[in-house]
Each structure stands twice: as structure tokens, then as C-alpha cells.
Amino acid sequence: MENENMIPLSPNDMFRFSCSSDVPCFNECCKDLNQFLTPYDILRLKNRLDMSSDIFLERYTMQHTGPGSGLPVVTFKADHASELKCPFVTADGCSVYTDRPSSCRTYPLFRVVSRSRETGRMTEQYVMLKESHCKGFEQGKSQSVRQWVKDQGIGIHNEMNDLLMEIIALKNKMIPGPLDVKSKHMFHLACYDLDAFRSQIFEKGMIGDFDGVPDLFEKAETDDTALLRLSLEWLKGILFKD
């Protein structure tokens, strides 16, 4: 990103930003992407498109191994013929706007999370990415970071993404380096291929004697958010059972 300024902000700090089709740079931030998708992003998108998770993953994404974490990460497929545009951007804007990924709805902010090794407590900070090409900073009214998070519906995304961050922190502490093939498969299943995970636990009994929360297990049969919570709890038990 060219000539960018990164400005740390507290929850009560104010900033001015708005994006709409009236802004000259509309849709510019939806191309030249290297877009990472969280498990909750994928859940929302595949349900919005009325697709099973495996079809969504095959059609729209690629999987890599994170260089830092050694974990499977999912990104949108790169389409060089369309300037690496997001597959869901149109001339009128985002076609999946109400279910857009967390990084999109947080922009022009991004969230930095850290976890204390001693207490396990997570702390967060926001940073404003002020890119020179973006004219959104000349639009709209000022609002606090806290209000932006509320208005953009970021809270549930942060909550679900923090469950993944907990697993990443545990993995870095307890299993440095790449996962073995079986563990990679389990990670992919629990985080990204939720429909296959549901089939495995409810039709094939894969979850076994997992000591999960009983009401969460019951909700997970029909509620994908509860299913993702369950899958991440199960994954923690599988990866760190010793």
C-alpha cells in the first residue's frame, strides 16, 4: 500500500471517514487484494451464498500455510485478469455487504490483539490505515472508534475471531513449527469446512467423548455460529489434549 500512515487510536478517539459510490475512489480498495478469511468470515459468506462450505472453499478460495503460525490459512483466489478484484465487488459496490469479511467492515481501521502469557488476558488496540488514494477521510462525520465498531457490526466478528486467536496462541506456545498432516486436516475441518464438520460429529460420531458444553452441542445441530464455537473448542481438545 503506497504512502500509508498508520495512526494508533483508543476506543474513544475520533476519526472522520465514510465510503459510498459518491467517493471518487469507490471500489479501489476491493482490488489488488491479498484477502485472508477467518472461519467466521467463511461461515457468513457461504450462508449468504446458500452454498455448502466445501463448494464455497473450492470456488472462491485458496489455502496456504501461514509462515509465522504454521497453520492453514484461507485467502480469496487471485484473479489476475481482473486486477485481483474481490469476487463479490460490482460496479454498485459489495454484493455481499451485510456479510462482508471482518477486515472489510473494520476498514480503515484494523485491530491488533495481544494475549498475556501470564494471565491469558487479551488486550486490543485499533490502528487507522490512512492511505493516500482514499478519499473517504474527506467524507461523512466524525465518530469514535467505539461507535464505528458498533455501527459496522464488528463485535461478533471480533468475538469469534478471538476464539481462533486463542488457538493460535496455544499452538505457538505448545507446538512450534508446522502441524503434522493429520492435525492440519483437523484444523481445516474445524475452522473452514463447517458443513463437513457437522456431518462428521452428528452423523458419524467423530466427536466421541469430547467434554463440551451440552447446550452448545444441542444448538450446533441447527446454528452455524454455535457449531463454529463447538468446532473450535473441539479443535483445542484435539491439538492440546496432552
Residues 53 and 79 in one domain: yes
Residues 173 and 199 in one domain: yes
Give the residue from 101, 128, 153 where a domain finishes.
153
Residues 105 and 174 in one domain: no
CB 231 within 8 A of CB 223: no
Residues 142 and 192 in one domain: no
pTM of the shown model: 0.91
Residues 78 and 55 in one domain: yes
Residues 166 and 191 in one domain: yes
Give the residue from 124, 153, 182 where a domain finishes.
153
Residues 120 and 220 in one domain: no
Which range marks the domain in which residue 98 is found? Answer: 5-153
Q: How far apart are CA 85 and CA 140, in angstroms?
A: 26
Residues 190 and 116 in one domain: no
Q: How many domains does the chain have?
A: 2
Q: How far apart are CA 203 and CA 181, in angstroms?
A: 24
pLDDT, residue 40, reads 98
Q: How far apart are CA 45 and CA 151, in angstroms?
A: 20
- DSSP secondary structure string, 109-131? EEEEEEE-TTT--EEEEEEEEE-
Give the residue from 98, 119, 153 where a domain finishes.
153
β-sheet bridge partners, residue 218: none
Residues 208 and 135 in one domain: no
Residues 123 and 176 in one domain: no
Residues 39 and 81 in one domain: yes
Task: Compute mean pLDDT per 10 residues along the chain, 242 residues long, and list them.
Answer: 73 93 89 88 98 96 86 86 84 94 95 76 87 88 95 96 91 87 93 94 71 77 94 91 68
